[in-house]
Amino acid sequence: MLSLTGLMTEKDGFSALVMGNHALARAMAEAGTRVITSYPGSPTPEIAEALGAVPEKQRGYYFEFAVNEKVALEIAAGAALNGHPAAVFFKSVGLNVAADSLIQLSMMELPGGMVVILGDDPGANSSQNEQDNRHFARMAYMPVFEPATPAEIYVMYKEAAALALARRAPVFLRLTTHVCHARGAVNFGALQAAAPDWSPRFDVKNGPYVPITAAVFPLKQRALEKLDAWAQYGERSALNSFYEAAPAGARRGAIASGLPALCLLEAVRAAGAPVDVLKLGLTYPLPAKLVADFLASHEKVYILEELDRVMETEIKALAFDRGLGCRLHVRQGHAELMGEMTVARAHAALGAVWPELFPAQEIKARPAPAARLPQMCPGCGHRSAFHAIKKALPPGAITVGDIGCHSLGFLPPYNMGTVLFSMGHSVSTAAGLALNNGSRKVAAFVGDSTFFHAGLPGLINAAARDSDITLVLLDNGTTAMTGHQPRPGNGELGERINIPELLKNLGVKFLRECDAYEQEKLSAHLKEAMDHKGFAVVIARHPCMLKFMRDRRRANPGLKPQQVAVDQAKCARHYACAAEFACPSFSRHADGSVTVNAELCIGDGSCMQTCPAQAIERKKDGV
Amino acid sequence: MAYNIYLCGVGGQGIGLLATVLAQAAYRSGLDVAACDTHGLAQRGGVVASHIRLGADALTPLVPEGGADLVLALERLEALRGAALYLKPGGRVIYYDTAYQPVSVRRGQASYPGADEIEKELAYLRGIVVRVAVEGIADPRMQNAALLGRLAALNVVPGLGAGMIEEVLKEMVAPVALEENLKIFRSAR
């Protein structure tokens, strides 16, 4: 089964090697989940890739990318209130955006049930932190399922969705980057034959649904009772598993969950160590009896976790409460709270307390070659914009970045956007930096998808206060970083929103716009905006060229793009193209010459204006 | 012991197809497969990697550092990095010899390695290095077919035959690009 359409539409059961995110999408279809929503964010977008592989008319589910995670969660919750099984998925930090409504969910009877799928990112592979969302479960009174493999994602989603429906409750399915993107064998079941029942079943009798002042307490009471029921379920759930060392009767044990538990198990087996392993799949509420029995039957137990000391704290409290004499070992030091678990780290962690079982493994560090940092693509409008803006900024200016491809502007050689918190923060953070700041000008950047996601409230505030900042809106018409999902109002999704008109209606008085390739014009706009006393917006627009070229190549597989070349007779070796504009298409050689890499150049020509010697020219062939 | 393959390249080179073909071919050959791709930020011109582990001992998908039996690289600098960080002593590197300079090289702050530096690294690790380069590949994203072709011909992955790799390649590649990919795949063998 190699096509996603096949994976999603095959009626009968089958086995296949699939990515975790794709296994999840199939599980949703099999489980009869009716409403699925999201905002794109790594490591989760491939779930949508699979959901989208089914022709719209054949889908048993409704799917949408909403404008942000909070909106996505609310749409799914609304559907669940109406009796439709619902799910929402987003990346780790997306939960912060969704939290205001998420925190209410466990107090509500959700007749459809709801699965909140988190793509946590230990190792911060594609995120601005590695926040451990297990903490949220404690605050939200929601159970947490933690699968370790694509096969477990499939099984746990179906179990979580069925239980959420039966208990009319929300649950967390917590994935991590290398569980989402792992590929493994999965045995799939059949699709449901029943046609979706879309009848609206919202009924206030299932409520109350308005938790205000004293009305909160009966709802909170119900949420706590449901949590107790989840704890009971966890004690007997097959999702928690015990791996006994051979020969039986080991005096040492170790506890872990999710993928870290498999790292632990692999390390234990590779070392041939007499250590029993308790792998938790339902990690919150902690199955107290199961864990206490494991502690009571071992003399020493290592609690191996990834990221924060969540399970560790609870297990220590449990051991104390029950007066268990088992010696508990845990990770030591700050370094152990960072990055993702690996087999080698599991081995080293256990080796720190049981060196005779896990002898130190030495890997000789080899000198690493030149680093390769991510960068903007050939032809990217953001590169052109940053190149132009950098020239126009007054000395001492502070630049505030935001989330998206343009975040990469903070790297050399641009060094633009030198503060970053979260989606849409840039306008307001810049407004704060500008307060009573008489000497240093402040500019903020935001991409178009982020602008709609969370930038709007800050922009309205800045316009109303006439904050003395310049906002540069880098509009490439798509959510590029996560794989070109449509954003509202770009014509692909809904009626086109006229961003300049929108800004004017929101009270923006100073507005300039141009194509990001028009570098001189953009520099002039920016100078004018920075000189302007009060809130100024400059729109630098250019379509995402990665998407543009992909679409062109798809339409014309033999496409040979037009390219540029460096005229070696004219080149005066300023290196403005290779070092300052720094398009990846330029190569700088040991003899000092610069050439164009024909494998990378797309012939956009945005570099030509950067050469002081006018040595970059269009080649004659290509289209 | 699991057989570990570490695949690497530069974001945009199409490492996903390479990894998918290999993993699916291994799965269809009856091998136990645990694999994992890189997605997200690094796809923008950064280092992209994919891991494939074959065998029942591999419960987790990431190849350990210094634990790869085979490093498959789509670019020269990444071949060197992959070998330095991941290759097991006595392992094998197969790489496609094209050069994408990182920004530090374009800014004159670092040098780009020659093919001899990979030879040196491999000599240190007592490994084998195979350089692949095919003339006249129109679309650089088809270089992965050349790498796959050479890998298939060398028959180095235990239990994975060239025929199965070709069979999966045929199913994976879009019909419009299939003929060209197969031509490159076969010519590299």
The per-residue pLDDT for range B50-102, each reduced to its tens digit, is 999 999 999 999 999 999 999 999 999 999 999 999 999 999 999 999 999 99
Cα–Cα nearest to A116, from A89, A135, A142: A89
pLDDT at A99: 98
Whole-angstrom distance, CA of residue B29 vs CA of residue A53: 27
Structural domain boundaries in chain A: 4-236, 241-353, 381-549, 560-618
Residue A76's CB is within 10 A of a number of other CB atoms, namely 32
Cα separations in angstroms, B44 against A201, A485, B37, B189 = 46, 16, 15, 31
Which of B12, B36, B113 is facing A178, going by the closest CB pair? B36
Cα–Cα nearest to B4, from B17, B29, B22, B30: B22
- Is A607 an interface residue toward B (CB < 8 Å)? no
Q: String of b and e for A60-74 (b: at least 16 CB within 10 Å)? A: bbbbbbbbbbbbbbb
- Is B37 an interface residue toward A (CB < 8 Å)? yes
- Token pair of A247, please? 């020969």
Terminus-to-terminus CA distance in chain A, angstroms? 37
Question: What chain B residue is nearest to A553 in terms of C-alpha separation?
Answer: B139
- Token pair of A50, please? 């699979």
Residue B4 Cα, gap to closest chain A Cα (Å): 14
Which of A17, A579, A599 is facing B140, going by the closest CB pair? A599
Domain topology for A241-353: Rossmann fold (3.40.50)
Whole-angstrom distance, CA of residue A101 vs CA of residue A142: 13
Spell out which residues of chain B touch residue A582, defining contact as CB-CB under 8 Å. Answer: 103, 106-107
Spell out which residues of chain B touch residue A265, defining contact as CB-CB under 8 Å. Answer: 59
* DSSP β-bridge partners for residue A73: none
What total number of domains does chain B contain? 1
Cβ pair A364:B66 closer than 8 A: yes
pLDDT at A495: 66
pLDDT at A493: 64
A-B contacts at Cβ under 8 angstroms: 179
Q: Each residue of B129-168: pLDDT tens digit?
A: 999 999 888 888 899 999 999 999 999 999 999 999 999 9
Distance from the Cα of residue A574 to its chain's centroid: 40
CATH number at residue B178: 3.40.920.10
Residue B60 Cα, gap to closest chain A Cα (Å): 6
Spell out which residues of chain B touch residue A369, defining contact as CB-CB under 8 Å. Answer: 77, 80-81, 84, 113, 117
- Four-point Cα dihedral A101, A107, A109, A114, nearest 10: 50
Whole-angstrom distance, CA of residue A243 vs CA of residue A254: 10
Cα–Cα nearest to A104, from A272, A259, A223: A223
Same fold, A241-353 and A381-549: yes
Beta strands per DSSP E along A189-281? 241-243, 252-257, 275-280
Which of B33, B39, B58 is facing A185, going by the closest CB pair? B33
Cβ pair B106:A411 closer than 8 A: no
Architecture of domain A381-549: 3-Layer(aba) Sandwich (3.40)
- Is B133 an interface residue toward A (CB < 8 Å)? no
Determine contact, residues A396/A440, Cβ cutoff 8 Å: yes
pLDDT at A365: 79
Cα–Cα nearest to A375, from A419, A422, A407, A423: A407
Which of A369, A372, A558 is facing B10, going by the closest CB pair? A372
- For residue B154, the enclosing domain spans 3-187
Whole-angstrom distance, CA of residue A54 vs CA of residue A47: 12
- Token pair of A296, please? 């009571």
pLDDT at B139: 86
Task: Please name the residues between 89 and 128 in chain B that touch chain A, using a CB distance below 8 Å.
Answer: 98-108, 110-113, 117, 121, 124
- Is A408 an interface residue toward B (CB < 8 Å)? yes
Cα–Cα nearest to A118, from A40, A44, A62: A44
Residue A3 Cα, gap to closest chain B Cα (Å): 8
Residues with pLDDT less than 70, chain A: 1, 489-495, 621-623
- Is A269 an interface residue toward B (CB < 8 Å)? yes
Q: Each residue of A67-76: pLDDT tens digit?
A: 999 999 999 9
pLDDT at A213: 92
Spell out which residues of chain A touch residue B178, defining contact as CB-CB under 8 Å. Answer: none
Amino acid at B42: A
For the structural domain made of A4-236, what CATH number should be given? 3.40.50.970
Correct CATH for A560-618 of 3.30.70.20, 1.10.1740.10, 3.40.50.620, 2.70.150.10: 3.30.70.20
CA count, 13 A, side-chain hemisphere, A118: 32
Handedness of CA A568, A572, A577, A579 (dihedral sign): positive
Spell out which residues of chain A touch residue B62, defining contact as CB-CB under 8 Å. Answer: 178, 342-343
Testing the interface with B: which of A129, A264, A593, A599 to mutate, by most B Cβ within 10 A?
A599
Residue B24 Cα, gap to closest chain A Cα (Å): 7
Task: Please name the residues between 420 and 479 in chain A that touch chain B, using a CB distance below 8 Å.
Answer: none
